[in-house]
Chains A and B, each alone.
Chain A
Amino acid sequence: MNCRSEVLEVSVEGRQIEEAMLAVLHTILLHRSTGKFHYKKEGTYSIGTVGTQDVDCDFIDFTYVRVSSEELDRALRKAVGEFKDALRNSGGDGMGQISLEFYQKKKSRWPFSDECIPWEVWTIRVNVVSLANEQERQICREKVGEKLCEKVINIVEVMNRHEYLPKMPTQSEVDNVFDTGLKDVQPYLYKISYQITDSLGTSVTTTMRRLIKDTLAL
């Protein structure tokens, strides 16, 4: 199957990186998470309830909605924190991208390991700017807030195209489609990775990490 790929671009100031990334990632995961499945007999299952909460950004005039799951929030914050540190440490002109990839696992026969087949990839390209004074920062707060509003509208538009989604799995297959490790919500299997472009902007260098949900461990 073809993997759907969406790219979003934002320009932010250094201290806005985390909040901007979290806003976008949480908005995507809000749409790509369901309640916990509880399988019953006869192949039926019931779905738990997903709560939501508003999060105000401190450095951006923006509020986003995320699922009420502290575990998920922690996982995303960890990933975004590492991305931010990598961006800061790279020197260069502060450009990078973070990718959120939804995938399905396909069992392979021994000795081959399971395949991870992505079905949707969201890439957020980040350009870090530095600002000279408080007035510029204030303008940046508002501008980035408006930009994030546009990004949310873009995300919602893609989500509502109702394009390919993995079939609802049977009980034995659920771990190939969903991340069942969280206790209150069940997002589709996902992984987050990031890349920092070097100052030449030509090739991708160095850091390429698989942060969470790397299922290749044998």
Chain B
Amino acid sequence: MDTDLSSQDRKDLDKFIKFFALKTVQVIVQARLGEKICTRSSSSPTGSDWFNLAIKDIPEVTHEAKKALAGQLPAVGRSMCVEISLKTSEGDSMELEIWCLEMNEKCDKEIKVSYTVYNRLSLLLKSLLAITRVTPAYRLSRKQGHEYVILYRIYFGEVQLSGLGEGFQTVRVGTVGTPVGTITLSCAYRINLAFMSTRQFERTPPIMGIIIDHFVDRPYPSSSPMHPCNYRTTAEDNAAVYPSVEDSQEVCTTSFSTSPPSQLSSSRLSYQPAALGVGSADMGYPVVFAGGLNAAHPHQLIVPGKEGGVPLVPSQSPHATQADQERMAMCTPLDGAHYSAATPSSSEDTETVSNSSEAKSGSPHDILETIFVRKVGAFVNKPINQVTMANLDIPFAMFAPKNIELEDNDPMVNPPDSPETESPLLGSLHSEGSSGNSTGNTHDDFVMVDFKPAFSKDDILPMDLGTFYREFQNPPQLSSLSIDIGAQSMAEDLDSLPEKLAVHEKNVKEFDAFVETLQ
């Protein structure tokens, strides 16, 4: 068999790789939307389901992927990467995963392109479907909402793993050998998250400070900007802004032959020449995407799902977008602008962009303070009592002041001038370790952290059962039991005895009458 690839095979292979790359991006991004994906099987081939798999095409995602590829295909040294990151409502972001589609030089000349390679690419996509549900970022993405969102960014070129922190792990999804090289699909994911259970994100405020390396500036300022795309744009916007997939979609191969290769010509693919990389400039794409802005505004997939919100169906998206805007606006006043990228209307997004890098000001920290009332950590700079007294009407408040005085002066509890961002760090770190403890000894210098009494709800601010229990574990001693006081008054008692006796003698008759009533 001729070892050189025929031109038809070459064309087919290029097409397969291109659409494989597009479908890979779709699978990854859809797996991080935060909702369950469901597509239907169809026994009759439709001609538009590449690799015989029902994978929906989100137009915005396809557009971004095509833009990143810019008419090229993954090749040696030029990998297609999808970066998944997390962004908190405070504006901090952290890379979670990098999915890489790479090509190396190892060729398999003998393999049949239109058959074996196609089927193996299909198998690889199925593996990708399975693996995307298995990395730690999946569970995080299912719980995204008020406190954080998951964003994606597609870039083409060298793989950059430095943003994943130390000790990241890699999982290989699979490889497919082709006559022009071997395609490898893999994922590198951050594992620091493994120490933070997903419950952290549900109950605690944002995790600022936990991952220290994510404050590092992005090492690749020249690469493509991240986009705050919200795929749930209205249908009208989609038609106007993005080329719908069907227009440029090439009909995928669905015909195979069990006959020898010489008869393969009878089952050739038909495709329409389509303009690759439809120019974004022509499509009225928002200005913000074309610019080389370094401010991080990755593609954002807003899913209010878990909070009982808006269903993510395109037909409902006009309402959804507005509801989402409102919801996001409520979560953090300053950062509400971040998430208002409901439609890619350029004016909104331009504002969003300019605000994003300046959004971090003092007030997020204020918000942090009030939220952190409940979290008590050792070495916390803010004494818990101070906060609780200020904000609360607690029962038995008159007994509390004694404890305040002690703790205010205690340097262990109230270290001077520690930055506020440490408290969530310490509080969260300690909460990981101490959740199993059950008793607290408040005589210690260390304040017991995170004492979680069973069946107590945390949602009644700001005092919870644990704090209450800790504070009132040591009530003041009864005065009559105190020996000091007893000793002092002994002398006084002796002196006053004669007077008391005199008084009692006067009332003898009353006492007698009383005694008689008892008999």
Chain B associates with chain A: yes
Binding site for B on A (CB under 8 A): 27, 30-31, 34-36, 38, 40, 42-56, 61, 63-65, 67-69, 142, 149, 152-153, 155-157, 159-160, 162, 168-170, 183-185
Determine the chain A residues whose CB is within 8 A of the CB of B139 once the complex forms.
61
Determine the chain B residues whose CB is within 8 A of the CB of A46 once the complex forms.
45, 254-256
Determine the chain B residues whose CB is within 8 A of the CB of A55 once the complex forms.
36
A63 with B36: CB separation less than 8 A = yes
A63 with B133: CB separation less than 8 A = yes
A52 with B133: CB separation less than 8 A = no
A160 with B41: CB separation less than 8 A = no
Within 8 A of A (CB), among B6-65: 36-46, 49, 52-54
CA distance A64 to B37 in the complex (A): 11
A44 with B134: CB separation less than 8 A = no
Q: Are A64 and B133 also in contact (CB < 8 A) when A44-B255, A44-B257, A51-B39 are?
A: yes
Complex partner residue of A152 from B53, B134, B197, CB under 8 angstroms? B134
B45 with A48: CB separation less than 8 A = yes
Q: Are A162 and B37 also in contact (CB < 8 A) when A42-B257, A52-B54, A168-B258 are?
A: no
Q: Which are the 4 A-B pairs with shortest beta-carbon distances?
A: A160-B174, A51-B39, A53-B38, A54-B36
Q: List 29 A-B contacts (CB under 8 A).
A: A30-B126, A30-B130, A35-B52, A38-B44, A38-B45, A40-B255, A43-B258, A44-B257, A45-B256, A46-B254, A46-B255, A47-B45, A48-B44, A49-B41, A51-B53, A52-B37, A61-B139, A65-B129, A68-B54, A142-B197, A152-B133, A153-B171, A155-B130, A156-B127, A156-B174, A159-B123, A160-B127, A160-B172, A170-B258
Complex partner residue of A49 from B52, B120, B127, B197, CB under 8 angstroms? B52
Q: Are A51 and B42 also in contact (CB < 8 A) when A159-B127, A160-B124 are?
A: yes
B75 to chain A, nearest CB (A): 21
A50 with B54: CB separation less than 8 A = yes
Question: Which chain A residue has the least Cβ–Cβ distance from B115?
Answer: A168
Determine the chain B residues whose CB is within 8 A of the CB of A156 once the complex forms.
127, 130-131, 173-174
Determine the chain B residues whose CB is within 8 A of the CB of A30 once the complex forms.
126, 129-130
Mark interface residues in B470-487 (1 if CB within 8 Å of A CB, else 0).
000000000000000000
Stretch from B259-267, B315-323, B377-385 forming part of the interface with A: B259-267
Determine the chain A residues whose CB is within 8 A of the CB of B172 once the complex forms.
157, 160
Q: Which of A51, A52, A142, A185 has the most CB of B within 10 A?
A: A52
A51 with B40: CB separation less than 8 A = yes
A49 with B46: CB separation less than 8 A = yes
